[in-house]
Copies of this chain bind each other. A is one copy, B any other.
Amino acid sequence: MAEIAVLGHGVVGSGVLEVLISHANSISKRAKEDIHVKRILDLREFPGLPYSDCFTKDFQEILNDPEIKIVVEVMGGLEPAFSYVKACLENGKSVVTSNKELVAQKGAELLALAQKNNLNFLFEASVGGGIPIIRPISQCLAANEMTEIAGILNGTTNFILTKMIREHMAFDDALALAQKLGYAERDPSADVEGIDACRKICILASLAFGSHVYPDSVHTEGITAITKEDVGYAGAWGSVIKLIGEVKKLENGRVHIQVAPMFISRESQLANVDDVFNGILVRGDATGDVVFYGKGAGKLPTASAVVADVIDCVRHLKSDRKILYWEDAKPDYVQPWEDTPQDVFVRVSGSGESDTLFDLVQQVFPNAVRLIRRDEETGEAGFTLSQISEKELRGKIPALEERGLKLENRITIADF
């Protein structure tokens, strides 16, 4: 019998209990041991549940219980989750978490602590919900040099963009619909500002390339500035707009990492990842492109990923640790985003016909390639530029303004 504790009985926590109970037989078979939830930490009361007598409001009761060897942290947020997880790892308890903020901010420290004490710190559920991605990257792709990871990592924003693309909704209307359907929270900023996607690409980047990348070192754009006009120009380029978290290994040993809405060619495998689904592309030198697709969030998908980690923990209690590990951040490891050349789409406004505006654009950018969207209106023009850095682009704004042109938006064009 493996005794475990669960910290937090919210959406994911209650899902973990549900999966453990409903799949008890097959889980015992796979873990080669029964798994029993001895304690659940939550400040609220949950009367009337079959496991109501397991609840405690006192974390020390879990920490000081020598029978509990595995602790599942599904509270979310940095504190008190971090203090609790750290205490567990310092006291001989392996930890399984779904908490992406915790892993993105404290992964290197907690992995080092786990290694020192010969314990597991597992977090399959922190990225991609029920999609297996942490393990495949760390194990199956072990014989590859990974060169790039790019993913649609946030279901809420993908739902909003899908509505903007397919049903020509405006951003605000699509957000309101997402909130009504329960896909977006009342304060949607962590999703729509790209913060959630940023945490996830940090975790994937750290895992794939071995050095921790902290969220505050990553250029992060959300989707709030995306308009119907941008969606139209994307269509004219043969693409759709998706919020992408992307990291590339550069030849200088650094990484190029960003979270931003991007033009994704309709030929790309990520272009068809719609609604609340996630899709993650992993590019390796031997495997080529491998794509993982599925529900990136939700109670049961996330809970099943947590439970799979628990099973793995139980199986490895008496033997060696799993392979997950990365080092702390290296100085100057993240390539300055502003200096990195990328293909971009640019939309400008001014007074006059689009033809006239584009003539003015060409005075500033002789190599600009014009895009014409369906229903293009007077006073706007769109074009693409190849391999230009943000710094260089911004440097041209005065020249645009001199010609009466206002830069309305710029959107990166993906190369996958």
Binding site for B on A (CB under 8 A): 19, 23, 26-27, 30, 124, 129-132, 135-136, 139-145, 269, 272, 284-295, 298, 300-301, 303-308, 310-312, 315, 318-320, 323
Contact = CB atoms under 8 A, between A and B. Distances in A.
Contacts of A23: 143-145, 286
B304 A141 contact: yes
Given A139-B308, A143-B19, A323-B315, A288 B269 contact: no
B286 A142 contact: no
A165 to B, nearest CB: 15
7 contacts: A26-B145, A139-B308, A287-B301, A287-B304, A287-B305, A290-B293, A292-B292
B136 A323 contact: no
B294 A143 contact: no
Nearest to A15: B286
Please provide the 6 A-B residue pairs with the shortest distance between their CB atoms, ordered closest to farther.
Answer: A132-B140, A143-B307, A130-B287, A319-B319, A286-B304, A290-B294
Contact of A304 (B284, B291, B307, B312): B284
Given A136-B135, A315-B320, A143 B308 contact: yes
A142 B293 contact: no
A132 B142 contact: no
Tell me how many chains of this kind the complex includes.
2
A303 B26 CA distance: 32
B139 A135 contact: yes
B293 A291 contact: yes
A300 B319 contact: no
Contacts of A141: 132, 304, 308
Contacts of A142: 26-27, 30, 307-308, 311-312
A51 to B, nearest CB: 17
Given A27-B143, A293-B293, A319-B320, 14 more contacts: A27-B142, A129-B287, A131-B290, A132-B140, A135-B139, A139-B311, A142-B307, A143-B306, A143-B307, A284-B304, A289-B294, A290-B292, A290-B295, A315-B323
A124 B135 CA distance: 14
A30 B324 CA distance: 10
Contacts of A131: 287, 290
Contact of A139 (B26, B285, B288, B312): B312
A111 B361 CA distance: 67
